[in-house]
Amino acid sequence: MKIFVYNLREYDEKAYFDRFCKENGCEYDYTAQPPSLDTVSLARGYDAVNIITTPMDAALLECFHKLGIRYISTRTIGYDHIDINKARELGIKVANIAYSPNSVANYAIMLMLMACRNITHILKRADVQDYTLKGKLGKELSNCTVGVIGTGKIGSTVLKHLHGFGCRLLAYGTHPNQSVTQYAQYAPLEILFQQCDILTLHTPLIPDTFHMINKQSISAMKDGVILINTARGALIDTAALIEGLDQHKIGFAALDVIENERNLYYLNRMNEVIGNHDLAILSSYPNVIVTPHTAFYTEEAVSNMVENSIKSLCDWEQGRENPFEIK
């Protein structure tokens, strides 16, 4: 099998591509550029393309199809950047991947702890040598009721790890996970909004979850709620979030993802006028943390992402069932 890789990062991914392509008996070439109408021709003569979160719209898929591309693997769990219906129409198979759930789960809990202890405020005041205590009072995570929305691999790992903190744990998921009941009680979403001090999102972005956190749901939450998002930015209506912060309904927001983050993460935009007003507003609040979509970024996760994206393509080529196929 011959694989063409887009958006390959030489500083962390290339060694894994070298290793896992060799182990699986396939060839690959790559570019650091994203797939686009200008770079599609680079995949001529290949069986598959390997991508990240860059858009794969109908026009681009048509071009890959004309080149003979049969398979697409995205090195991400989310696949909302790919026009799946168009891919099906063209007969192109699409797969996502799985990676260590500890990466995002640990990061989400880190954000919870930072929010509970007002760590950004503490660090900023330490930078100017203000070591007084006033305004730094925090809350203990162990005394909080935490609601986890989405109980797949990452959400269930968050619950498992939070159990050790002694929190009261509530969970919501459209497909309940039996293992979760060891640590948490499943409840309707309305109950999580009413009772939780902290809400953390771990659900995929699909039409049913778009803006699931909106003006109405925020109004139903506890005053001073802490909101954590390490999943997808569009799960939250940003205008409603900003209004909730302005009205002190939301006590703290810690966001590893935001709406309209494309063309921001993972680019160096230093000294540029970005023009993302929502990001500018959110970054101005002392009770908001915005990190650049890095919750996944550990050695283990990057290795998993590359290995699983290669293995799934080889599964198709060799006639095996692909556990990562988007059906």
262: pLDDT strictly greater than 90: no
Distance CA 221, CA 40 (A): 47
Please report whether residue 38 resides in a domain: yes
Residues 278 and 155 in one domain: yes
28: pLDDT strictly greater than 90: yes
pLDDT mean over 88-103? 97
pLDDT in tens, 177-212: 999 999 999 999 999 999 999 999 999 999 999 999
Counted residue by residue, the chain has a size of: 327
pLDDT in tens, 230-251: 999 999 999 999 999 999 999 9
Q: Is 293 a catalytic residue?
A: yes
Residues 142 and 277 in one domain: yes
Residues 185 and 149 in one domain: yes
pLDDT in tens, 44-87: 999 999 999 999 999 999 999 999 999 999 999 989 899 999 99
Residues 122 and 239 in one domain: yes
Q: Which of 269, 295, 287, 166 is nearest to 226 (CA)?
A: 287
Residues 110 and 93 in one domain: no
pLDDT mean over 131-150? 97
Residues 276 and 129 in one domain: yes
How many C-beta atoms lie closer than 10 Å to residue 233's C-beta? 19
266: pLDDT strictly greater than 90: no
Residues 219 and 185 in one domain: yes
Distance of CA 236 to the CA centre of its chain: 13
pTM above 0.75, yes or no: yes
295: pLDDT strictly greater than 90: yes
R_g of the chain, CA atoms, integer Å: 21
Please report whether residue 20 resides in a domain: yes
Residues 138 and 171 in one domain: yes
Q: Which residues contact 274 (CB under 8 A, 6 or more apart)?
A: 264, 280
pLDDT mean over 247-264? 95
**Residue 278 structural domain:** 101-290
Residues 155 and 50 in one domain: no
Please report whether residue 82 resides in a domain: yes
Residues 109 and 193 in one domain: yes
User: What pLDDT is recorded for position 22?
Assistant: 97
Residues 143 and 207 in one domain: yes
Catalytic one of 232, 259, 307, 317 = 232
CATH number at residue 127: 3.40.50.720
302 vs 78: which has the higher pLDDT: 302
Q: Which residues contact 307 (CB under 8 A, 6 or more apart)?
A: 16, 20
Please report whether residue 327 resides in a domain: no
Please report whether residue 304 resides in a domain: yes
pLDDT in tens, 279-292: 999 999 999 999 99
Please report whether residue 189 resides in a domain: yes
Average pLDDT of the residues of the chain: 96
Percent of the chain with pLDDT over 70: 100
User: What pLDDT is recorded for position 23?
Assistant: 97
267: pLDDT strictly greater than 90: no
Residues 232 and 160 in one domain: yes
Catalytic one of 13, 259, 261, 307 = 261
Q: Which of 41, 47, 12, 10 is nearest to 28 (CA)?
A: 47
- The tokens describing 198, both together, are 């902290």
Q: How many domains does the chain have?
A: 2
Q: Is 261 a catalytic residue?
A: yes
Please report whether residue 325 resides in a domain: no
Q: Is 277 a catalytic residue?
A: no
pLDDT mean over 143-171? 97
Please report whether residue 323 resides in a domain: no
29: pLDDT strictly greater than 90: yes
Catalytic one of 70, 75, 202, 293 = 293
User: What pLDDT is recorded for position 149?
Assistant: 98
